[in-house]
Amino acid sequence: MTGLLRTEAVQILAAARGAALTVVTMRALPPWNALGQADTRNFNNTGCMGSAASVGLGLALARPSDQVIVVDGDGSLLMQLGSLVTISGCRPANLVHVVMENGCYETSGGQDLPGHGRGDLMQLALAAGYRSAVRFDTAAPLREGIAAVLERPGPTFVSLVISGPGADEPPGHPAPAAKAVQIEQLRAGFAEQVLT
């Protein structure tokens, strides 16, 4: 499979993030955290594969004035594919759902995804009712186009074709904080925003 390196995709997303709230899961976590993105406006979704989109939807509904970017994996999304319909039913204009597609369950051993090469998650998102969807498979178009994509009314689906399992992980990445700690960090960040 050809496509983007995960690290370059994450770098481009991080550079375009701005003040968005983010929910990041699976293999995107190490490079995201290595870039210093695990701040008080970020939630590392670990230990509950497939839930990133649902957590992002909850944040988008609770914080309609904030943009929410979910950085998901294709295997993770397949675990709770029904979230596409739930998201489209709620129509959160502030939600961008980025899915890194490498065609395998990399976290659990690299098994091929069911239907890989036949099913199309981007088309499924559109059929479920997402307002728009776009796919990127190289860095330059993603770098040039991501700002415009982030300005679209959501829910927006962004498919990133990742070059498959590989050794593009950053060395010595920090472990994510415990969920309870992250929730308190989010609350503190929201409280600071209200006070300023």
- Per the prediction, the chain carries an average pLDDT of 85
Report if residue 132 sits inside a domain.
no
Report if residue 79 sits inside a domain.
yes
Report if residue 40 sits inside a domain.
yes
Report if residue 138 sits inside a domain.
no
Report if residue 140 sits inside a domain.
no
Total number of domains constituting the chain? 1
Q: Is 108 exposed, middle or buried (0-12, 13-18, 19+ CB in 10 A)?
A: exposed
**Tens-place pLDDT, residues 50-63:** 899 999 999 999 99
Is 156's pLDDT higher than 90? yes
Is 104's pLDDT higher than 50? yes
What is the pLDDT averaged over residues 134-148?
95
Contact status, residue 9 vs residue 168, Cβ threshold 8 Å:
no
Show the CA angle centred on residue 27, arms to residues 22 and 30, nearest 5°: 70
**Cross-strand partners of 161:** 101
Is 176's pLDDT higher than 60? no
Other CB atoms within 10 Å distance of the CB of residue 167:
5
Can you give the CATH number for the domain in which 116 is found? 3.40.50.970
Is 167's pLDDT higher than 50? no
Is 170's pLDDT higher than 90? no
**Selection from 86, 72, 91 nearest residue 155 by Cα:** 91
Which structural domain, as residue segments, surrounds residue 63? 12-127+152-166+177-195
Report if residue 78 sits inside a domain.
yes
Beta pairing class for 104-105 and 111-112 = antiparallel
pLDDT range class, residue 195, cuts 50, 70, 90: low
- DSSP element (H, E) containing 100: strand 95-101
Other CB atoms within 10 Å distance of the CB of residue 191:
10
Report if residue 6 sits inside a domain.
no
pLDDT at 26: 82
Strands of 42-45's sheet, edge to edge? 42-45, 21-25, 68-73, 95-101, 156-161, 132-136
pLDDT range class, residue 112, cuts 50, 70, 90: low
Contact status, residue 59 vs residue 87, Cβ threshold 8 Å:
no
pLDDT at 196: 60
Report if residue 139 sits inside a domain.
no
**Selection from 18, 167, 44 nearest residue 106 by Cα:** 167
What is the pLDDT averaged over residues 35-50?
87
